[in-house]
Amino acid sequence: MHKSAQGSPFCLLLTGTGTDVGKTVTTAALLRSLLDLGAKAMAVKIVQTGVEASDCGKTTASDSYQYLLASKGADFPTAHCLHSFPLPVSPHLAAAQVGVKLSAKKLACDIQTFVQAQSDYDVLLFETAGGLHVPLSEQEDWLHLLSYLHFPVVLCAANCLGAINHTLLSLDALRYAAAHVSALVFSETGSSQDDCERTLRADNINLLRSRFPSLAVYPLPYTEKREERFARLAQALAPLARNLLAAKPKNATSDLISRDRASLWHPYSPARDNAPLSAVSFSHHNRLVLSDGRELIDGMSSWWCAVHGYRHPHLESALHAQLTRLPHVMFGGLTHEGAITLAERLKSMLPRALSRVFLADSGSVAVEVAMKMALQYQYGLGNKEKTRFLTPLGGYHGDTLGAMSVCDPINGMHSLFSGCLARQIFMPRPSCRFDEPFDPQSLDAARQIFAERGEEICAVILEPIVQGAGGMWFYHPDYLKGLADLCKASGALLIFDEIATGFGHTGKLFALQWADLTPDILCLGKALTGGTMTLAATLCTDKVQDGICANGQVFMHGPTFMANPLACAVANASLDLLASGAWQSQVLAIENVLRQELAGCQSLPNVADVRVLGDIGVVETRSAVDTCTLTRFFTEHGVWIRPFNNLVYLMPPYISPLEDVARLCHTIYEALASTGTGASPSH
């Protein structure tokens, strides 16, 4: 009855505002109410302390004993305890006393395993111990477990003096943890002694109902007669039980996919697309958890931006704190501390000459800003003939019109629009590999173009060291040095697009450090906010600024959400993490694993090249892979890798455990080795 699309029971988490607030009584009463309505239900204590495991359900000190009292007469198991420890203290201390270390992830796995074994049940009620912030370990509490499970929650509180404060704090914590609160149960823990106490209890309930009109609040009366206790309490919670049984399963995978296909358009896909599609319910560390419960190791950092992994507490705290102060304000004529601090910090991390920061919405917009800066700079100097950009083939700079004009016009993704894009100048991609001695002849094409058309060239724009989406090609730093000399001699500006390479991906904080160069303009994005919000930045030198502002001119660009305070706050938090320096050892360790574990792919007949730099690992095949088939293969094998064209590549979050990085590499090998082409790997 009322089960999810996968046939598993409906699961509910019951937690409280503290200890002795009526969680167990509420759980037992709700269990009784569900049984009275004909549901097959069970109550489960996740961690019981103060009771030997062998005594659970047998002694009044165990919560499962109360479940059994409430469900007396049921002809199937109605009570269970997952973990029990004899010391009557906080779960982490009780577990430590017998040499057990609790973790939210392990408890979540235990719960999910238990749920899968109870497929014939309609409802499972899981009760926590103590309040939301009762520790499970030195670093985790019940809220961490909730974030893994994503079960709806019933919050239990004692209806007494101080209840409002504790309840509001608990509701804030649950909201911060993105929990869905199904109901609030207010338990009377003793009989009302006078009118004042009765007035207080009634006011507590009325106040919360007024403050949260959409939240169901259930009073649970105090009952002295034990034999009538659960029958009466079950009656009080009958409306909640009926609502639970009537609730349709939320976020069923098949429902999400069908709704997506009916309304949404995905990047570089036809509107009516039947390619593999996975619904993600939440993420953590280096993992993506699908709505059907499967967990994938992320090998892409969500298109290279989630370098610190997912749901990093420092980033979440910064975002939450900013949200309560200033979520957004226009940047025209106004400023705020977050934007100022972010600009100052970016300048401190980069060459001193990059002195002016323009905050933009996204990477593509940052490139548009850079191109407009270059054009307006040349215009300000009177160089009106300098209107074209020189860029290597194989480059990718974004999907907006200006950015598309400097992407590879033949093998890139924008050839359809070639007729309406500005005509730029293209040269061969750098032929000098990063891992080989520099060949000065690799600059011959650039030299010839500058000699023939230098008066037209406004600026050179390219991705330093690594061409990203255009081919994952790594080239020698000395190429950039030679190009910088050509620009200087011609009066052209040099623009580095570090949207993909910035913030550590290449093994240095910025790819420009490999060449020890300072461009005239620099674009940053992606990892700037640690993959939490969209934000980008375009930095330029005083020379560029002065040229643009010559004769009283202003720079003609102004996004509505420029310097959004939320994005600035989380970007500053991301820079905090980078400033700790841990990324350096993390990226180096990932690089070593990638080199070792991807090397075997070189022996596969369809593999043309294997290359690694920083946390970027690339397997280039001789022919295009079947993206749909490979994506399905990867998902079914527990990893998230998104290949394109003839490239199967990795760029995992820096915090990825090395065994996960190795597994990503092994799965790529298995996928390509199964057929030699990647066209239809066996499952």
Which residue numbers are catalytic? 268, 396, 497, 526
Residues near 574 by Cβ (< 8 Å), separated by ≥ 6?
307, 308, 315, 503, 527, 528, 529, 530, 532
Would you give the distance in Å from CA 456 to the centre of its chain?
43
Helix or strand (DSSP H, E) at 56? none
Q: Which residue has the tokens 């160089």?
A: 383
Q: Are 285 and 41 in contact (CB under 8 A)?
A: no
Buried b (16+ CB within 10 A) or exposed e, 294-310: ebbbbbbbbebbbbbbb
Q: How many CB atoms lie within 10 A of CB 195?
A: 8
CA distances from 495 to 96, 372, 619 (A): 56, 12, 28
Copy the structure tokens of residue 478. Answer: 């000395």
Nearest CA to 459 out of 421, 420, 497 is that of 497
Q: Give me the residues paired with residue 459 across strands.
A: 389, 493
DSSP letter string over 375-436? HHHHHHTT-TT--EEEEETT----SSHHHHHTS-TTTSS-GGGGGGS---EEEPPP-SBTTS
- Separation between Cα atoms, residue 631 and residue 276, nearest integer Å: 7
Is the four-CA dihedral 662, 667, 670, 672 of positive or negative sign? Answer: negative
DSSP letter at 551 equals: G
Pick from 321, 282, 283: nearest CA to 176: 321
Q: Is 156 helix (H, G, I), strand (E, B) or coil?
A: strand
What's the one-letter identity of residue 242? R
Q: What is the 3-state secondary structure (H, E, C) of 165-207?
A: HHHHHHHHHHHHCCCCEEEEEEECCCCCCCHHHHHHHHHHHHH
* One-letter identity of residue 497: D
Contact 247, 180 (CB under 8 A): no
